[in-house]
Structure 1
Amino acid sequence: MKVLDLTDELGAAAIRALIGLGADVVRVPGSGPADRAAALHWYAGTKTAATGDLDALAAEADVIVESGPVAKLRGLTKDGESRWPGLVHVVVTSFGLTGPRRDWLADDLIAASAGGMTWLGGRPDGPPKPPPRESALQVAGAHAAIGACLGLIARDRDGAGQLIDVSAQEAVAATLETGAIAWIHGGAFPRRTGGIYGHVAHRVFRAADGHAAGGYSGSNRMWTDLLAWMAEAGEAEDLTDEKYADAVYRWNSRPHVDEVVARFASRRTARTLGEQGRRRALPWAEVSRADQLAENPQLRSRDFFIDVDGFTDVGYAVKLPASEPGSKTWRTGRTGEPALTGLRVLDLTWVLAGPYATRQLADHGADVIKVESAHRQDPTRFAPSMRLRPGASHDDGGYFLNFNRGKRSIAVNMRTPEGQDVVRRLAARCDVVIDNYSPGTTARWGLDHESLSKVNPGVITVSMSGVGQDGPWRNAVTFADTLAAMSGLTHETADPGGDPQGLTFGLGDMVAANAAVLAIVALLRERRGGFVDLSQLEAMAASMGPAVLEQQLGTVPAGATPAWPHRLAHRCPHGVYPALGEDRWVAVAVLDDEQWRTLARLTGVRETGFDLAERKADEDRIDAELAAWTRTRGAAETAELLQSHGIPAAVVSNGEDLTDLDPQLAARGFYPVLRHPLAGEVKHEGSVLRLSRTPARVDRPAPLLGEHTHAVLTEFGITADPTVLE
């Protein structure tokens, strides 16, 4: 894959992802990262163009990846078409190429705020705060890389290129877990909790010498085994009372249960909690720092780290397998149909990471056959706390509807040999088989890659385990919060001098899902099969490169404080400021001296000087005066005013803002309405990628449990004992 790189910080993550796939990238220097650590991480492996003639460079490329303000894009014609229509042209902008806010500007903070991430983070008594390490721009870049591969798949089919529009705001809005859909289905939205999850009993606990992430949600064993551990130490207190065995009572008593667990955790080191958690198959992990990441025994055993100019950097979110003999041509669709039309996917995943990955495949035309059962209950279908809609059943809960639209459901009890045989016969006829079981599970069932490739040469199999199929931690039980803790991300959620807060939504699941989709479409584009051993830990750790490099290179202090945790060394002012109304906030990011002069003129904030160094020296006063000005105005009014004068700003959006009030998302139809047989007409999160010639298809609701069992088995010519089809 030959790539012409015309990106700024909005698209940098896409370039690194494509480099990780083996792409040959030629970069035309433009605006890039402000510090050396970020530049080394995002652009390592690229070649600097010897000429500035873009048309000549494009003639040698398969893909062009471009990003930046719409007005400064070099690859668009005046009518908004690609300057190179025969190529796959991926464009990442702040808010998209269409809509009333197409010219609005953003950095990571603004994109995270406009897309809903910022609202979910931070202390309840402080300002909202986005996830660390430019998570908003990283998810946008991941989608852009996926879009490049989809565009090539379509071009290989019919020889035509296309323009692919990626909005950073929409990429963020698709990663919020319940952040928006809780409003759609229940008229409520999550609020800042300082790291306490609203729908699972997990959080960050203080240990004797640091912090650990863990909890007791999931299967009942997660509770009984944690209780046994505490009881062995004589520290279970009153939790051995029979009433706590009831999951509903335990959930309603969570504050007390958390207090007892917190006392237990505080008497042990963070490493002990992590080690004992792994030994007992419980989802607990030490909260690691970036400077500890390179010594992680699991990551080291899997050769995760790479060398960049003599420094140690993290590896890539996913590694493609070596080529295999027996690759096959999968069925492809007609011109103009979604890029993955004709692809057949067997979905053995549950909860969030896997279903979000297969939802993306379904959006782009794949026939996704979801295997599920009442005997192994997916909590997103069966847990009352995840249904979101009052009175919803397992067939119309809001969480399941959102992440499983566009799929077909077959009910098969895989705890029986007969059920396993049914699934093996299905797998033999599918192009992709994806699971998120513990290592070794698929091998016991004859569904591992080695077994399947004998009867289905060229099949792509993906296993999305917590930490990978091998290594000393291979059997670790992980949740999103424990993976974030292991990766170093949780540690960076702390305010200066404070405790790590963690994340209260499944960002890690979304990051892993994007990595899985990227691996699948890359292999499809190369028309080869193979086994993708996807470690969700590695996918998370891959986002920490600048942090790891900073530990080696040093970094300029940002000057962040508990009151102003959003400050950056290379920008001022840069933060989230109070707005008129209860718990309303507006994000503002000044990127250069000209924007600062304009902001000072509009707001009356006294100028302390024109350059960055002078502003940083007087940052406390600037932030205080700007906050006094924003506090008297509505957040939307402030954002509109500042953006109209070329200053990046956005409402810190909650679920209601996104789904009901945002004119840009509405104009671009990001929350399409699907009719479900039980739930009726319901808004869903849209597809992030907008392909001009082979658009995604978001037109089928999530299935009822086993809704398509008979149709699928008949189609495949499979008969089975009805007792295993439930």
Structure 2
Amino acid sequence: MDTASTTATTAPPLAGLKVLELGQLIAGPFVGKTLADFGADVIKVEPPDGDPLRLWRLLHDGTSVWWQVQSRGKKSVVLDLRTDEGRDAVRALAAECDVLIENFKPGTMEKWGLGYDALAAANPGLIMLRISGYGQSGPYRDLPGFAVVAEAMGGLRHLMGEPGRPPVRAGVSLGDTLAALHGVIGVLLALQARQRDVSPQAPKGRGQVVDVALYESVFNCMESLLPEYSAFGAVRQPAGSALPGIAPSNAYRCADGMVVIGGNGDSIFKRLMRAVERADLADDPGLATNALRVPRVAEIDAAIEAWTAQRPVAEVVAALQAASVPVGRIYTVADIAADPHYRARGMIERVTLRDGLALEVPGVVPKLSRTPGTIPGLAPALGEHTEAVLAALRRQSE
């Protein structure tokens, strides 16, 4: 594998952590991917026909190139959890692992005899991350939950789009990824708690369940939405590319495209107005603070766009950067791939697949100075590690 990642000089932070991943598609596997990037040994259990993500979106040689990101460095073990043999293997694996990740419908693991209480009886230190649409309790727990529904219920989808028009969605599954990131946080918190709770009965410390709901992960990122409603009865509405209550912050037309500008800091606003040749607005005491600017945001936006619309994107970006005003082009993936900052930060890595294809993939975040993460290896072929992993289990039981 060819990669530009920073080479760790010490063991990665999660070296020695054993993770059993039972989830499919996006949320659960994204957790496993993140843990693997920082040194965890992740065993991914797949059904006989594989994780459906293997066949999602654009394929190379019959396998999604997305798979090369979501499952990099994992070990693939094929088990049929509908059979006694498959469930017995999961029990044996869970007894040896620190973390188990699952994102089935609540109650599924219990139906298979793989609930937390059953697994923790053999491994008190086990941490089980459970990701579902609505959580493991509450009146909606048994409803099917996908990211699209979680984004709607969490309050995000209502705010996305233009006023008076149907809401739109982001082109990625934000609800799944936000849940996964909350899952990673939960696992790390549970590992920290486990270190403080070692006993003769639990030499590794006591584990626990981390219950992550997709809709709650979205709702947790909704900033002032609820307190504003609680205090003032204010129901925030969609506002297109603007950010209500923050002025100015919007997307603006240029002669050959668009830019986004964040000029809402008081001193930044003054620099922005002078850069767009509106010193009168920069010096207007009635626009000195954000609270004063909000009622006049339409006037401010019009002044900015009157200037940007007469100039190409490159000229607008250069002028505002020179004035220390936050500004940027709206990137496509082609822009990302060509941007030197992405490459300087190690955010575009190159891996070489088994058939020789050089593939660029996202790098590792966050950046740690002493124990950085690295891309741990290629994504596995279906069942690539089944024989080796199960043989090791058999040797341990002898």
Scaled by the length of structure 2, the TM-score of the pair is 0.86
Kept in 2: contact 1:519–1:532 (CA 8 A): yes
Counterpart residue number, 1:597: 270
| Residue 443 of structure 1: how far off its partner (Å) | 1.4
2:250 corresponding residue in structure 1: 575
Describe the SS at the equivalent of 1:540: helix
Contact map agreement 2:17 2:98 (CA 8 A) in 1: yes
Provide the residue aligned with 2:325 in structure 1.
Answer: 647
Distance 1:601 1:414 in 2: 65
Matches of 2:347 and 2:233, distance apart in 1: 38
Kept in 2: contact 1:422–1:718 (CA 8 A)? no
State the alpha-carbon separation in 1 of the partners of residues 155 and 140 from structure 2: 17
Contact 2:160 2:238 in 1 (8 A): no
Change (3 A) 1:508 1:561: closer
Relative to structure 1, is the Cα distance of residues 629 and 636 closer, same or farther in structure 2, using a 3 angstrom cutoff? Answer: same
Does the 8 Å CA contact 1:557/1:569 hold for their aligned counterparts? no
Give the partner amino acid of 1:715: A
1:407 equivalent in alignment to 2:74: yes
Tell me the residue number matched to 1:454: 121
Q: Deviations along 1:470-523, whole A, 9 cap, x unmatched?
A: 222111111111111112221122433333224332111111101111111111
Selected match of 1:701 from 378, 383, 386:
378
3-state SS of the aligned residue for 2:100? strand
SS state at 2:222 partner? helix
**8 Å CA contact retained: 2:24, 2:51:** yes
State the structure with bigger RCO (CA 8 A, min sep 6), 1 or 2. 2
Change over 3 Å in CA distance of 1:340–1:401 after alignment to 2: same
Q: Does 1:359 align with 2:33?
A: yes
Distance 1:594 1:633 in 2: 24
1:672 equivalent in structure 2? 349
C-alpha separation between the residues in 2 aligned to 1:559 and 1:467?
A: 24
- Give 2:208's aligned residue: 530
* Distance in 2 (alpha carbons) for counterparts of 1:670 and 1:519: 25
What are the superposed Cα offsets for residues 171-195 of structure 1, whole Å, 9 maximum, x if unpaired?
xxxxxxxxxxxxxxxxxxxxxxxxx
Q: Is contact 1:424–1:446 with CA below 8 Å preserved after alignment?
A: no
In the alignment, the residues of structure 1 paired with residue 312 and residue 138 of structure 2 have an alpha-carbon distance, to the nearest angstrom, of 53
Match of 1:192 in 2: none
Q: Aligned-pair RMSD on alpha carbons?
A: 2.6
SS in 2 for 1:684: strand
SS at match of 1:577: strand
- Partner SS, residue 672 of structure 1: strand
Give the aligned residue type for 1:524.
L
Deviation at 1:351, TM superposition (A): 0.6
Report the 3-state secondary structure (helix = DSSP H, G, I; strand = E; otherwise coil) of the residue aligned with 2:43: strand
- Asked if 1 retains the 8 angstrom alpha-carbon contact of 2:130 and 2:211, the reply is yes
Give the alignment partner of residue 467 of structure 1, picking from 120, 134, 137.
134
Question: What's 1:688 paired with?
Answer: 365
Instruction: Name the counterpart of 1:393.
Output: 62
Q: What amino acid is the match of 1:449?
A: Y
Percent identity among equivalent residues?
Answer: 35
Matched, 1:499 2:166: yes
Q: 2:317–2:329: 8 Å Cα contact kept in structure 1? A: yes
Q: Deviations over 1:126-145 (max 9, x none)?
A: xxxxxxxxxxxxxxxxxxxx
* Cα distance in 1 for residues equivalent to 2:346 and 2:132: 34
Report what 1:542 is aligned to.
220
Residue of structure 2 equivalent to 1:512: 179
> Would the aligned equivalents of 1:353 and 1:512 in 2 still touch at CA under 8 Å?
yes
User: Aligned match of 2:110 in 423, 443, 447?
Assistant: 443
Q: CA deviation at 1:423?
A: 1.8
- Please say if residues 76 and 382 of structure 2, whose CA atoms lie closer than 8 Å, have aligned partners that are also in contact: yes
Give 5+ residue unaligned stretches, structure 2.
Answer: 1-7, 196-205
CA shift, 1:621, in A, is: 3.8
CA shift in 2, pair 1:577/1:458, >3 Å: same
Distance in 1 (CA, whole Å) between partners of 2:87 and 2:22 is: 12
Number of aligned pairs? 373
Q: Does 1:566 align with 2:233?
A: no
**Matching of residues 212-251 of structure 1 within 5 Å:** none
Give 1:643 deviation, angstroms: 2.4
Q: For the residues of structure 1 that align with 2:113 and 2:329, how far apart are their CA atoms?
A: 51
Q: Which runs of 5+ in 1 are unaligned?
A: 1-333, 720-726
> 1:588-627 to 2 correspondence within 5 Å?
588-605=261-278, 607-608=280-281, 609-610=284-285, 611-612=288-289, 615-627=293-305
Matches of 1:549 and 1:468 in 2, distance apart? 23
Report the residue type matching 1:388 in the other structure. L
1:153-185 deviation digits (Å, cap 9, x = unpaired): xxxxxxxxxxxxxxxxxxxxxxxxxxxxxxxxx
Match of 1:185 in 2: none
Partner in structure 1 of residue 47 of structure 2: 373
Are the equivalent residues in 1 in contact too, given 2:317–2:328 (CA < 8 A)?
yes
TM-score (norm 1): 0.48
For 1:368 and 1:635, how far apart are their aligned partners in 2?
45
- Following TM superposition, by how much is the alpha carbon of 1:671 offset from its aligned partner in structure 2, in angstroms? 1.2
Show the counterpart of 1:586.
Answer: 259
> Matched residues in 2 for 1:341 and 1:648: separation?
39
